[in-house]
A and B are shown apart, each in its own frame.
Chain A
């Protein structure tokens, strides 16, 4: 038998706000993602020009070389508004927490071969600074990008990068004997030749002015090569096979995060490129340029863990990246 609970039914006057109804139809109920995203950013009749950039309005599509007839053509396939975002991350941090508990509680860090532990510290810890750079770059797009559909996922990305930097810090404090491992890693980041290509890359991103170029340099090219290379390939495969599974547990957040986030990145690339031939050409130019720089910058870092195999494995990761971009409509 069916339960038939009743409430007083009142016929609504309208299903959603008019600016949403104009997009989805007046007869449809809007999702929370739609109401929290579509046209939320101001677009007309700004009162003053920024004193820090008088050539533009506060929000100004002409800050980018990418041209869109409608900036709300961008969609986040994850449908992240704040509530959905925090719920997703809270679940992931719960997993991360139990992984850390598992590794710490069983003293698994002490069982790692010394050489492997040393490799992980050398490879992983300086990446906390790269993640911090990713936080700054995503904050830049959040601030100066156009349209909430594009900028909203960037504040989430920015905070994710901070979270990742903090997880790496925890791994360092767990594996290292002392907080000095963090200083050592920072020194590598600042001075070791292996890290200078990546540091230069990140710093060069800091002075870009086009939000979509920052997106390409950070989210598409750098994240798109670094995460598959370091987390999916080196940690999850190569080091795990040498007894480094506990490390894979401690970095599960990063692996899961990338698998999820790339869906949004791909959708964004696809939408931008599909808009016009000019956009497509611009995206191709940027992606090619930043992919080559990112691959070159990551090579000496891959060598830390892979030695002479770094070359082959990095090329494989680049091939996968190219295939991924081709699916998103950008042939490289």
Chain B
């Protein structure tokens, strides 16, 4: 904004400081400790909030102006996309399952980010930090809503979107992303910032958000692509905030280092586990692939992340723990995950399939060390069985990891033929883990993780049936009763893509739009 100043012209930085941190004051009628009650209990020591470097300088009038312009353009495209049945231009109807995964698993996290940043935006005593957090909080409700609005049009025509809010709190695999964010929001304000601001938004965003948006661009999905691109400049702001938090906290006191390091270890691992779903999406669900999960990990984490952690080394930060395991796992996790969803496709709100021959060849080529040896024969076997009418849907429930809540499907680092199990005895109970990372995270805060709402445990405890259902009645079908509790439309939302309503409708509608029959 331009402003005339009597005697001297203010620099941008000084001007912004008057517009933000000049507004705050040290309270005296109420103690600062009472006004900001959560800022000390995590053990982080901050001596001078004025040392905070504003990661971006945006006054509200400029914010409204720029963002309104972006919204105007975005909604014009969303409307046009809906009006001319843009959904019929996607490469192949299987693609739509990738965005089902997005709306169900990711969009609700945007909303949680909105509320989480409002919490830190209330709790930090530093004005600069508070304003940056609140602006991100405002951006995050934008992202939640633009995603809901964009995908609303898919919901009108395709199955699997219609109960995303209800399913988020109940369906087995959705507890993975949800518990991740619940974990962050229930932590203190500094840990939240390291978890979401730094680890998620800065370190892992290229592995989460970008694959979906690029996937949309590669597969003719203008609607999804547009909200992704429109969010890009917001994301750039969020990334600079994430980095500033780390630097600021580390510069304030040397005692902060071990606490921050432990959070970086924890949240990189927690985030990496959630990314299993993205890896699977990239390798199996995009008809037109962008790159393999393994390649994405190498480019975005090993190269870019490597440079970042080199940069942070001057603060005493070392790269996150368990990277050696991730390095070994990158040949495997996407295949292990897709096999699991293929198995449990009866209890899932998107469709699964066996890749076509050229897709299998693509996977062989991208995963020369693992695919032909461990995964291709299994997929081909399942395909043969399905052809013979023996499509097998697994109806027993898997054991879940107490921390990441993913079924225990991952293998021992270095031995892809052996499932990895870890366990801990705590207060007369035995807890199970998929990995050393998840086990160690539990051991650091057992009282938190024993509270986890594990979908499988809850089913066995009888907490996942609709009211009035009698599990002792003759012919009781537990899976079907659980699916009712999920509000899953059986035979429409679940099972294989082949033969699904989505497949038939897409074919019919595309015919209507392109032929004169």
Contacts and interface: CB of A to CB of B under 8 A. Distances in A.
Nearest to A44: B169
Interface of B: 1, 3-7, 10, 18-19, 22-25, 27-30, 34-35, 37-38, 41, 59-61, 63-65, 67-69, 71-72, 74-75, 83-85, 108, 111-112, 114-115, 118-119, 121-122, 127, 130-131, 134-135, 137-138, 141-142, 144-146, 148-149, 152, 155-159, 161-166, 168-170, 175, 178-179, 182-183, 185-188, 448-449, 451-453, 458, 487, 505, 509, 512-513
A305 interface: no
A41 B68 contact: no
Nearest to A105: B4
A231 interface: no
A16 B114 CA distance: 23
B60 A86 contact: no
Q: Which 7 A-B pairs have the closest CB atoms?
A: A90-B68, A163-B60, A132-B23, A36-B145, A12-B156, A142-B118, A177-B6
B462 to A, nearest CB: 14
Chain B, interface SS category: helix
A172 to B, nearest CB: 9
Interface stretch (A196-204, A235-243, A258-266, A278-286): A196-204
Interface of A: 7-8, 10, 12-19, 30, 32, 35-36, 39-52, 58-59, 81-83, 86-87, 89-94, 96-97, 100, 104, 128-129, 131-132, 135-136, 139-140, 142-144, 148, 151-152, 155-156, 158-160, 162-163, 165-167, 169-170, 173-174, 176-179, 182, 186, 189-190, 199-200, 203-204, 206-207
Which residue, A12, A96, A135, has most C-beta atoms of chain B within 10 A? A135
Contacts of B61: 93, 96-97, 163, 166-167
A143 B115 contact: yes
A48 B182 contact: yes
Contacts of A14: 155-156, 162
Contacts of A166: 19, 59-61
A15 to B, nearest CB: 7
Which of A10, A30, A177 lies at the interface centre, i.e. has the most chain B CB atoms within 10 A of its CB?
A: A10
19 contacts: A7-B83, A10-B509, A12-B156, A17-B163, A36-B148, A41-B115, A47-B179, A47-B182, A48-B179, A51-B448, A83-B145, A86-B67, A104-B4, A131-B23, A142-B122, A177-B6, A182-B22, A190-B28, A203-B29
B29 A177 contact: no
Contacts of B75: 83
Contact of A204 (B6, B29, B178): B29
Say whether chain A's binding surface is mostly helix, strand, loop, or mixed. helix
A136 B27 CA distance: 13
Contacts of A17: 152, 155, 161-165
B123 to A, nearest CB: 8
B470 to A, nearest CB: 22
Given A162-B134, A173-B3, A182-B22, A16 B182 contact: no
Given A46-B453, A93-B61, A151-B115, A83 B108 contact: no
Contacts of B166: 18-19
Contact of B451 (A48, A97, A129, A156): A48
A93 B65 CA distance: 8
Contact of A143 (B118, B179, B449): B118
A200 B185 CA distance: 31
Contacts of A45: 169-170, 453, 458
Nearest to A104: B4
B451 A162 contact: no
Nearest to B116: A143
Contacts of A51: 41, 186-188, 448
Given A40-B165, A82-B141, A139-B118, A206 B30 contact: yes
A46 B135 CA distance: 26
Given A36-B149, A43-B169, A165-B23, A155 B448 contact: no
A121 to B, nearest CB: 12
B178 A163 contact: no
A13 B18 CA distance: 54
B5 A179 contact: yes
B452 A89 contact: no
A136 B134 CA distance: 10
Greatest chain B CB density within 10 A among A14, A46, A128, A142 is at: A142
A47 B157 contact: no
Nearest to A8: B513
A186 B22 contact: yes
Contact of B35 (A44, A48, A142, A207): A207
Contacts of A151: 115, 118
B238 to A, nearest CB: 15
A67 B493 CA distance: 37
A30 B114 CA distance: 23
B68 A87 contact: yes
B498 to A, nearest CB: 20
Contacts of B451: 47-49
A56 to B, nearest CB: 11
Given A165-B19, A173-B18, 16 more contacts: A8-B513, A10-B85, A14-B156, A16-B155, A17-B165, A42-B168, A46-B453, A47-B179, A52-B38, A81-B145, A83-B75, A93-B64, A129-B23, A131-B23, A142-B122, A203-B27
Contacts of B28: 190, 203
Nearest to B119: A143
Contacts of B155: 14, 16-17
B1 to A, nearest CB: 7
A203 B18 contact: no
- Of A82, A96, A160, the most chain B CB neighbours within 10 A belong to A82
